[in-house]
Amino acid sequence: MRCVRVLAITTLFLALSLDAGAQTKSQPDVIVGPFVVNADKDDALRAASESCSSRLAAALTTKGVAVARDPQLTQKNLKAAPAPWAMLGRLERKDGQVRLELQLLDVKTGEELRSYFGADKDPQVVCATAEKAAERVAAFVKEQKGG
């Protein structure tokens, strides 16, 4: 009988600690949404868009920012994002150059806090803008979190 009680108490303790761990699991600092591509049928630009978004998320993570990616995130559903900040981007080809615009947004208000731009003929060179922006975004997040 005593073994049954010990087992029941141990099981209850384990269940409660697992539940508490799930509840205290930290939310991401930044949600990275997909980058909008302003082109009808530019598959190379679409591939570059995914690459830029991935490179941004990886660079933020490397800098110590908790990141989540949401392929459905847009300006319209921004307030539903489970993070204080979001990064959205736009990639377009204009006048022979690929242009990247990134926005750091406050999720609660939708306000643009920072914006970053890059342009080059080579989409991969433009994607380096995302990695450079990650440095500044990481500094911003650290400052806002009091560190």
Read off the pLDDT of each residue in 50-77 and give the average, rounded to a whole number. Answer: 95
Structure tokens at 77: 């559903």
**How large a percentage of the chain has pLDDT more than 90?**
69
pLDDT at 6 over 70: no
What whole-number distance in Å separates Cα of residue 76 and Cα of residue 110?
A: 9
Q: What is the CATH number of domain 26-144?
A: 3.40.50.10070
**What's the predicted TM-score (pTM) here?**
0.79
Residues contacting 34, CB < 8 A, separation 6+: 49, 50, 53, 71, 73
The predicted structure's pLDDT at residue 125:
92
What per-residue confidence (pLDDT) applies to 45? Answer: 87
What's the pLDDT at 31?
97
Residues 6+ apart with CB under 8 A from 57: 32, 67, 69
Element (H, E) at 90: strand 85-94
What is residue 132's predicted lDDT score, i.e. its pLDDT?
95
- Summarize pLDDT for 9-60 with one digit per residue, the tens: 444 344 434 444 444 458 999 999 999 998 767 688 888 899 999 999 999 9
Give the pLDDT of residue 20: 40
* Beta carbons of 117 and 129 less than 8 angstroms apart: yes
